[in-house]
C-alpha cells in the first residue's frame, strides 16, 4: 500500500466550510492513505455508515484499516466529537493518517487552522499559526505557517467531484503540515 509512513491524527478547522473540506481532503491526500472523519457535518461527503453507526454497532473488521491507498471519508453522523474520541483513537492505530474535519474548538486533539488570505475588509486579522490559502488579489499572512498556492480550477473540480487533487505544489505544502507542532 502506498503511503508516506505513520502520520497520526490531526484536526482541520476553518470558518469557511469549503476551505475546511478542501483542507481536510488535502491533508489526507498528502499522506497517501488516510481516513477523513467529517465532524463538521456541513457536507454530503462520506459513506452510508457513519461514525455514529460505528460507535453504536461497533466497526466491522474491514472498517478498521484501509483496503487500498487513497483517502476514505466517513461522516460523523449524530455523534459528539468527545463521544467518538475512543473510536477515532482506535481507528488511528491502523490507518497511516487520520484527519478530523471539525469546527473551531470541537476537537480535543491537535488542530490545524486553515485561513483564506482574502483582500480588503475580509483580510485575516488573527495572528496565529495557521495554514494560509492564497486567493486572487489576497494579502500576505498575518501569522506564521505554510502558505498554500492557489488550488487551481482542475484540482478544485476534482475535490468537489469526490476525486483527489493531482500531485503538485498544493499537496507538497500539505505534506509539511504533518511535521509541524499544532496546539
Interval 34-52: pLDDT, tens: 999 998 866 666 668 889 8
| Residue 3, in any domain of the structure | no
The pLDDT value given to residue 6 = 59
**pTM of the predicted model as reported, rounded to 2 decimal places:** 0.90
User: By residue range, what is the domain housing residue 145?
Assistant: 8-177
The mean pLDDT value of the chain amounts to 87
Instruction: Evaluate whether residue 80 is within a structural domain.
Output: yes
Does a structural domain hold residue 142? yes
Could you tell me if residue 182 is inside a domain? no
In a domain, 130, yes or no: yes
Mean pLDDT of 4-19: 84
Residue 1 has pLDDT above 50, yes or no: no
* pLDDT band for position 183 (cuts 50, 70, 90): low
Domain annotation covers residue 128: yes
Confirm whether 161 is domain-assigned: yes
Is it the case that residue 26 has pLDDT exceeding 50? yes
Least confidently predicted of 39-53, 69-83, 111-125: 39-53
Indicate whether 2 belongs to any domain. Answer: no
Domain count, the chain: 1
| Spatial contact of 73 and 79, defined as CB atoms under 8 Å apart | no
pLDDT range class, residue 2, cuts 50, 70, 90 = very low
Amino acid at each position: 500500500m502506498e503511503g508516506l509512513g505513520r502520520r497520526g491524527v490531526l484536526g482541520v478547522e476553518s470558518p469557511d466550510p469549503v476551505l475546511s473540506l478542501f483542507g481536510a481532503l488535502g491533508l489526507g491526500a498528502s499522506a497517501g492513505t488516510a481516513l477523513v472523519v467529517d465532524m463538521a457535518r456541513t457536507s454530503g461527503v462520506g459513506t452510508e455508515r457513519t461514525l455514529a453507526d460505528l460507535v453504536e454497532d461497533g466497526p466491522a473488521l474491514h472498517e478498521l484499516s484501509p483496503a487500498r491507498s487513497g483517502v476514505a471519508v466517513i461522516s460523523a453522523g449524530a455523534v459528539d466529537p468527545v463521544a467518538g474520541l475512543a473510536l477515532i483513537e482506535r481507528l488511528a492505530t491502523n490507518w497511516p493518517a487520520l484527519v478530523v474535519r471539525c469546527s473551531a474548538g470541537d476537537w480535543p486533539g491537535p488542530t490545524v487552522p486553515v485561513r483564506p488570505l482574502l483582500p480588503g475588509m475580509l483580510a485575516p486579522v488573527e495572528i496565529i499559526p495557521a495554514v494560509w490559502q492564497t486567493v486572487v488579489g489576497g494579502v500576505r499572512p498575518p501569522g506564521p505557517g505554510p502558505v498554500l498556492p492557489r488550488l487551481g480550477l482542475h484540482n478544485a473540480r476534482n475535490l468537489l467531484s469526490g476525486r483527489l487533487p493531482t500531485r503538485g505544489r498544493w499537496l507538497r505544502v500539505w505534506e509539511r503540515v504533518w511535521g509541524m507542532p499544532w496546539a
